Structure 1
Amino acid sequence: MIIFTTQILHIVEVAMQSKQIDTVIRGGTVVTPIGAAVQDIAIADGRISELSSTITSSAPTEIDARGLLVLPGGVDTHCHIEQMSGAGLMNADTFRTATRSAAMGGTTTTVSFAAQHAGQKMRKVVGNYAALAKKGAIIDHAFHMIVADTGNANLAKDIPALIAEGHRSIKIFTTYAKVRQDDKSILDILALARDAGALVCFHAENDGLIGHMTEKLLAEGKTAPKYHAASHPREAEIEAIDRMCRFAEFTGARVMIFHVSTGEGAEIIRQARARGVKVQAETCPHYLFMTEDILDSENPARFMCSPPQRSTEDQAALWEAMADGTIELITSDHAPYRMDASGKFAHGENAPFNQIANGMPGLETRLPLMFSAMVSEGRMDVEAFAKVTATAPARAFGLDGKGAIAEGFDADLAIWDPEASYTYGADDLHDNTGYNPFEGTTVKGMPRHVLSRGELLVRDRALVTEAPRGRWLPMRAG
């Protein structure tokens, strides 16, 4: 029997009482959708076979979780992995480096982007992307289809067929010249998704407002990274969110608004939901813990993202929207670019703000940041933390067997030490980005052990495997 205590790994040999049980987790405070209680968990063939106050059977692997929290492994439904941007720039992470970082942060499922570019067939895009994931992913995963080209039989044939096969999430940009869709194309996609049982996700910003402000700032010689925030005015998000909610209302389609950053955007979604619009929303840690002032700091390109960070008033509004259920998901929007010519500075270190790659790493920091703010600081309870970071994302995208601790579900578990304190360093993440945007931030509460389908990926805060063992997950029709 292998026993993991909170401090040390012990190896003991005993006779197995049950050949079917592989692992027992003992004495942890188990957080389920119906509450938290001290329980044992039995795992067999990668799934949770029993939840009980006492499991008498022994197993070849036993984990002593007394004094610890047993939470569902995180489900991060917004991350960019091994993806070519619309500007033709490959981000920093492979599936191996991204998913090992995710596991270290307590995340056991990702949904990333199969990114189509003009002229490409969606069938081939998804096939190529799936091959990359199979080669490198150490955790389970699904894909969003970024639709950049509705012609060439993509909308008529490829996309409907892929939806039927389980790729039931579509991503649309309302900005960025090489990938954005016009209003008619958006409506066409929404109608298809409605009839096929798919979800349509939006990067919602008004392209005209961004183009107008970018041109104005550059003409005034305001080219430094700090002007990025001004080039993406809050009105761009507000207008686009309202328009996409109206389109969803008109078509009856299910939609998800990605990375809500403004209080007004959250209020539009709140009102739309009250009208019966099938709209859900997410935000990200960088909107909750950073403001636009961060672009005045040293090396501000590290913090450039779209939409940009906003104000403390927006942060308060986002927390309120989380509390009342308007914002149901917290995701990372992990978009890693290195601080060199391969990433942020592909156009030179003195490039104007509109030629600097947008995005930050976040797969590994998402859960500790949110646990510290929600649970350790008392904003919300541990059940709410599990819901917004695991249960709700899994349900929104139809990932059956993921995101919760329940008998029959996959044994995707993160065993947390709620008292562990950690201060992030300059380059201490397990991805390939080379910097940590939350350097200097101290969090309270860290995952100690992480299991994916019953297999230990992280033991005592150390990665124990990088084997490409992750599986593709079909999405159930919504």
Structure 2
Amino acid sequence: MLRPKRCGGGKQEVMAPEIDLVIHDGHVVTPDGVIEGDIAIAGGRIISVGKPVSGGARRISARGKLVMPGGVDPHAHIEQMSGMGQWNADTFETAARSAAMGGTTSVISFAAQASGQSLADTVEDYAKRAARGAMIDYAFHITVTDVSVAGFDRDLETLIRTGHRSLKVFTTYNIQLDDRALLDVLTKARRHGALVCVHAENDAIISQARDALIASGQISPRDHARARPRMAEIEAVERMCRFAEYLDQPVMLFHISTSEGAAAIRTARKRGAPVWAETCPHYLFMTEDVLVKPGLEGAKWMCSPPQRRPADQEALWAALLDGTLSLVSSDHAPYRFDETGKLSAGPDAGFHQIANGLPGLETRLPLMFDAIVSRGRGGPEAFARLTSESPARLYGLERKGALAERMDADIVIWNPEKTVTYGADDLHDNVGYNPWEGTTVTGWPERVFLRGQCLVEDGAFHGQPGSGRWIDRPVLATRPRGMASEVEAR
């Protein structure tokens, strides 16, 4: 049972005629704990938290509800072409609608460089798409796949300096960088002040396992997990931890799925390596058995890395609660289960011909609320930290992720008692199926506000295409510690 601290007793009441919105009588989840009190909003910002507030153009009672910061999802693929040459299902408009309906108000998606494309052109292309359709606030990770293009160093420095403070690299797929290129990108990121995010799997291990399975005719979706052995993640995670340590360059390791991967990160952090890591709901709540379905049905749940075993789930939860893993993202990678998406190679496709990924923008927060708040795996403060505060802080979203004065008024009112069972196709994206069909969650985002403006109320979405704003990130919390790296010492 929640026992919020009372706030406001003996404090001066806030009375300002310019107040646009007051949310009152709720249990407000702040970085300092859960308090009882009011939140006042003016000009899209929070101007007071906890103090009693009079007046306001609009007043909303949150009695019996939890008032949370809007979700920050730092890992989503939106209006992006895959390495297999397929566009994913969502535009910025459909993805933003889905995100908001699930309580997320800020997203970091990818500006993915195509072969031969300059970084400047890459970001310009994605910025145009987002400006046209986004209905929540957004930033980009610049996905680096071709370091040989003309002007690469100049563009990288300029983009980082102008607020694009995170990069993404791969150690697998046909867009991977070799070790020398990885070290060079890490060095440049350190020089200019960017975080490097890594999809860390060993490509040689994967290709050997995949080719052996194909040769033996074992190509159904259920074979996908064996095609990406856990050792592929373990080796690449350990290698990237060492690279980060060697150069004293901050690294964020994406979508950790194994107990060994989490253990390697814990060990590296104890050594002082500047390493952070995330996991995703499909690793916390699904196992590889989800791929075992008739025909190609299991393709709906194919993702990379694949889901693992129950023991891995427990290890990931332990790593979240002890701080080894810093946050939970969705890794939203939406493909329809038809010829435009996962079945584009036909009804007899093998796992190696099926796009990897599943939708998650809309379901991330309800799934995590149910587990952390309703089922007691940490409480409301832990939920806010893992899904809003930590991603905002680590990625430099300075006015996002927390309920405090001068922050953007990105606010979600949660009904902790409402129970919902997901259906077959009840999400608001463009995917056409819900991978969590049949899952029941307790706790639901009933009202969602972006910069004080109502996005979701009474189950209806009120956003307008193009109303989302790009989030400038002038600095990062994940700065190098200042000690000389081995390279510089030479």
Which residue matches 1:158? 155
Between the aligned partners of 2:144 and 2:463, the Cα distance in structure 1 is 34
Which residue matches 1:332? 330
Counterpart mapping for 1:14-413 below 5 A: 18-56=16-54, 58-177=55-174, 179-298=175-294, 299-413=297-411
Between the aligned partners of 2:378 and 2:214, the Cα distance in structure 1 is 43
In the TM superposition, what whole-angstrom CA distance separates every residue of 1:362-387 from its partner, at most 9, and x where no partner exists? 00000000000111011111100000
Measured after TM superposition, the shift of residue 91 of structure 1 is 0.2
In the TM superposition, what whole-angstrom CA distance separates every residue of 1:17-40 from its partner, at most 9, and x where no partner exists? 743110011111000000001110
Asked if structure 2 preserves the Cα contact closer than 8 Å seen for 1:38 and 1:53, the reply is no
Which residue matches 2:4? none
Asked if structure 2 preserves the Cα contact closer than 8 Å seen for 1:155 and 1:189, the reply is no
Measured after TM superposition, the shift of residue 94 of structure 1 is 0.3
Letter matched to residue 312 of structure 1: P
Measured after TM superposition, the shift of residue 154 of structure 1 is 4.5
Which residue matches 1:419? 417
Q: Secondary structure at the match of 2:167?
A: strand
Between the aligned partners of 2:289 and 2:369, the Cα distance in structure 1 is 24
Q: Secondary structure at the match of 1:347?
A: coil
Q: Secondary structure at the match of 1:88?
A: coil
Between the aligned partners of 2:87 and 2:164, the Cα distance in structure 1 is 23
Between the aligned partners of 2:262 and 2:211, the Cα distance in structure 1 is 28
Letter matched to residue 404 of structure 2: A
Measured after TM superposition, the shift of residue 52 of structure 1 is 2.7
Measured after TM superposition, the shift of residue 134 of structure 1 is 0.4
Measured after TM superposition, the shift of residue 120 of structure 1 is 0.6
Q: Secondary structure at the match of 1:265?
A: helix
Asked if structure 1 preserves the Cα contact closer than 8 Å seen for 2:76 and 2:108, the reply is yes
Between the aligned partners of 1:104 and 1:143, the Cα distance in structure 2 is 21
Between the aligned partners of 2:199 and 2:162, the Cα distance in structure 1 is 24
Q: Secondary structure at the match of 2:49?
A: strand
Which residue matches 1:3? none
Q: Secondary structure at the match of 2:319?
A: helix
Letter matched to residue 322 of structure 1: L
Between the aligned partners of 2:353 and 2:58, the Cα distance in structure 1 is 52
Tell me whether 1:450 sits opposite 2:448 in the alignment. Answer: yes
Between the aligned partners of 1:297 and 1:367, the Cα distance in structure 2 is 27
Between the aligned partners of 1:149 and 1:46, the Cα distance in structure 2 is 40
Letter matched to residue 158 of structure 1: D
Between the aligned partners of 1:102 and 1:237, the Cα distance in structure 2 is 28
Measured after TM superposition, the shift of residue 349 of structure 1 is 2.0
Between the aligned partners of 1:67 and 1:222, the Cα distance in structure 2 is 53
Between the aligned partners of 2:475 and 2:49, the Cα distance in structure 1 is 29
Unmatched tracts of structure 2, length 5 or more: 1-14, 477-490
Asked if structure 1 preserves the Cα contact closer than 8 Å seen for 2:423 and 2:438, the reply is yes
Which residue matches 1:9? none
Letter matched to residue 272 of structure 2: G
Question: Higher mean Cα deviation, 215-224 or 457-466?
Answer: 457-466
Q: Secondary structure at the match of 1:77?
A: strand
Letter matched to residue 61 of structure 2: D
Q: Secondary structure at the match of 2:75?
A: coil
Letter matched to residue 130 of structure 2: A
Between the aligned partners of 1:266 and 1:294, the Cα distance in structure 2 is 22
Counterpart mapping for 1:458-473 below 5 A: 458-473=456-471
State the aligned residue count: 460
Between the aligned partners of 1:376 and 1:324, the Cα distance in structure 2 is 20
- The TM-score with structure 2 as length reference comes to 0.93
Q: Secondary structure at the match of 1:443?
A: strand
Between the aligned partners of 1:463 and 1:210, the Cα distance in structure 2 is 42
Asked if structure 1 preserves the Cα contact closer than 8 Å seen for 2:161 and 2:474, the reply is no
Letter matched to residue 197 of structure 2: C
Measured after TM superposition, the shift of residue 53 of structure 1 is 3.7
- The TM-score with structure 1 as length reference comes to 0.95
Between the aligned partners of 1:22 and 1:395, the Cα distance in structure 2 is 27
Unmatched tracts of structure 1, length 5 or more: 1-16
Q: Secondary structure at the match of 1:256?
A: strand
Letter matched to residue 364 of structure 2: R
Q: Secondary structure at the match of 1:78?
A: strand
Between the aligned partners of 2:458 and 2:123, the Cα distance in structure 1 is 36
Between the aligned partners of 1:349 and 1:141, the Cα distance in structure 2 is 37
Asked if structure 2 preserves the Cα contact closer than 8 Å seen for 1:77 and 1:331, the reply is yes
Between the aligned partners of 2:350 and 2:50, the Cα distance in structure 1 is 59
Q: Secondary structure at the match of 1:91?
A: coil
In the TM superposition, what whole-angstrom CA distance separates every residue of 1:188-219 from its partner, at most 9, and x where no partner exists? 00001111110000000000000001100000
Cα root mean square deviation, aligned: 0.9
Q: Secondary structure at the match of 1:435?
A: coil
Measured after TM superposition, the shift of residue 85 of structure 1 is 1.0
Letter matched to residue 131 of structure 2: K
Asked if structure 2 preserves the Cα contact closer than 8 Å seen for 1:75 and 1:393, the reply is yes
Which residue matches 2:7? none
Between the aligned partners of 1:466 and 1:320, the Cα distance in structure 2 is 40
Asked if structure 1 preserves the Cα contact closer than 8 Å seen for 2:68 and 2:413, the reply is yes
Between the aligned partners of 2:226 and 2:152, the Cα distance in structure 1 is 35
Which residue matches 2:3? none
Letter matched to residue 101 of structure 2: M
Aligned residues with identical type, % of pairs: 57
In the TM superposition, what whole-angstrom CA distance separates every residue of 1:74-99 from its partner, at most 9, and x where no partner exists? 00000000001122110000000000
Q: Secondary structure at the match of 1:109?
A: strand
Measured after TM superposition, the shift of residue 361 of structure 1 is 0.3
